[in-house]
Structures are given as structure tokens and as C-alpha cells.
Amino acid sequence: GKGYAFTPGLHTDEQMEGWRLVTDAVHEAGGRIFIQLFHSGRSGHVDLHPDGEPPVAPSAIPARSKTFVSATSGMIDVSPPRALELDEIPGIVTQWRRAAERAKAAGFDGVEIHGASGYLLDQFTRDGTNQRADDYGGSLENRLRLPLEVASAIADVWGPERVGYRVSPLSTFNDMADSDPTATFRTLAQRLSFLGLGYLHVQEAAFGQERDEALVQAVHDVFEQTYIGNGGYTPETARARIEEGRADAIAFGTAYIANPDLPARIARHAPLNAPDPSTFYGGDARGYTDYPTLEATEA
């Protein structure tokens, strides 16, 4: 499932113990922390996998996208995938369950399932990447089977209220597309709501895309638990969105990278640090732990 170099894992006991150092520190500071679990599917590279195995996917359709495999590689084309065999799919669900169990043992407060951004669960969900002819492909019901099996397995471990699910209905990242995203993601949101998941995290817009308000509303209307919007929000537009009842919460990505004390800045209507995109895929402290806090700036 590994799609990039330097990504932290949660598939060994050693990694689990390493994560406990993180969760203990967060809890000592009075915080809460969920871990996002994902399987990259076809968005990977043979150099990242044992014995040079190809990435796996619902169908053997190469992605026109890139990844990085070493500190010196830069972004390179992902490898052509192979289609998962039907009898391999239960093992994929088991991998997710085991990661969720290790997350619990490591002291996390919950799990977010990454079903977005052109990774494995997204690849099964959308018909641009899922062209199977068995129980996991073809109809929308079949394409949602693996995502819902994974969600059910993780909810069994954690209780559904401690589980979230992230989607990106219109994102084309990692060469993704769907013929009817409104129907696809409205149905997925409804099924996840039936499972009682704690929240749905929706990437409503990204990379300069316009937000499709009708699609967003369709998804929002069928998910009965907490709806978290994401994508190009400012503190001002986030406040307005929540006040309008169109989201229960708003998530920030880029702004959080550059502002380690983002909640305090938003609460005080303080200016935000500007992010440095050239450091987003770096490997040292620059652009990672060196952005000034509001307290330091005022001092």
C-alpha cells in the first residue's frame, strides 16, 4: 500500500510503539489525535514495494500521475498496476483492520479512513478506475463494496463514532474521474451515515477547482453525523459556512502547515503566516517546524 518515500507506517509493532510517543505527547498537552489510514493502490511505484512488486488496483489501468521514491528522485511516473484478484480482497480488509487495531494500541483517539485523492478506496469507488466485472465492480453497489467493508471493519474495532471517512468527489488528482460523481458520492455518504460513522470529511475543492455547490449539498443532506468541509477556505468563509448550516466544521490543510497555532490565530483574528510550497515535500526542519508562532511574532 505504500505510495511515497518517507511516509510513516502503522503495520508493525515497532511503528506502533513509535506512534505512542506522539500520542502521549499530544495527550500530555491536552490535545486529541486521530490517525489517517490509507492504501495508495495504483498510485505507487515498484521501487517502494518488496521484491519490486507492482502496485495493486481494482483494474490494471495505469495512472497518469507521479510520486517520489527517494530523496534524489524528484517526482517520477507511477508504475503500471495489476488488478487485485478476487480472493485477495479479504486480505486488504484485514490489513486495514490490523492497522486500526494498532492505532488503538498506540493511543490514538480515532481513525480517519482515506477514501479520497485517487488512492485505493477511491479507485474502487469511481468508475473511471474500476472496470471490474465481479462483485467489486460494475454497478455502484459493487463499487462501494470494498469501501464499506473497510469502514465496517474499522468501526468494529473503534466503534463507529470514533471513525471518520474522507472523500474528494471532484478531485482529478492521481488521474481520477467518475461519470456521475453526485450519485456516486451521495450514495456513499448515505451508506456511511447508516453505519453511524462519526464524521465525513469532504474535500469540496482543490488545486483551483470551483466548488460544485449542488454536489456538496447533496452529500451534506444525506450524512446525518458531523460534516467537515475542506478546500480553499479562509477563516472568514469558514465561519460563514458554519453559520449558514452548510457544514459542522471546516478543516484546513495548507494554512495549518504554515501556522502551528492556527486555532489561536483564527480566534484572535490574527494575520496568518504565508506558506512556502517549495518546502512541502522537503525532508528537514525548513518549512516544517520553523514557522513562527503568534506568541513569538508578538514578542
Which residues are annotated as catalytic? 119
CA dihedral 137, 139, 145, 146 (to 10 degrees): 30
Listed in sequence order, the residues at least 6 apart from 28 whose beta carbon sits closer than 8 Å to its beta carbon are none
Closest CA to 146 of 158, 130, 162: 130
Contact by Cβ (8 Å): 55, 84 = no
Instruction: Provide the CB-side half-sphere exposure for 28 (13 A, CA).
Output: 6
Measure CA of the first residue to CA of the last residue in the chain; give whole Å. 45
Listed in sequence order, the residues at least 6 apart from 91 whose beta carbon sits closer than 8 Å to its beta carbon are none
Contact by Cβ (8 Å): 194, 159 = no
Contact by Cβ (8 Å): 107, 23 = yes
Enter the C-alpha cell of residue 90. Answer: 479479504
Sheet holding 226-230, edge to edge: 34-37, 110-114, 163-167, 199-203, 226-230, 249-251
Phi and psi at residue 19, to the nearest 5°: -65, -30
| Residues β-bridged to residue 52 | none
Closest CA to 56 of 113, 136, 129, 1: 1
Cα R_g (the chain), whole angstroms: 19
Residue entry with cell 478476487: 86
Listed in sequence order, the residues at least 6 apart from 38 whose beta carbon sits closer than 8 Å to its beta carbon are 1, 113, 114, 119, 120, 121
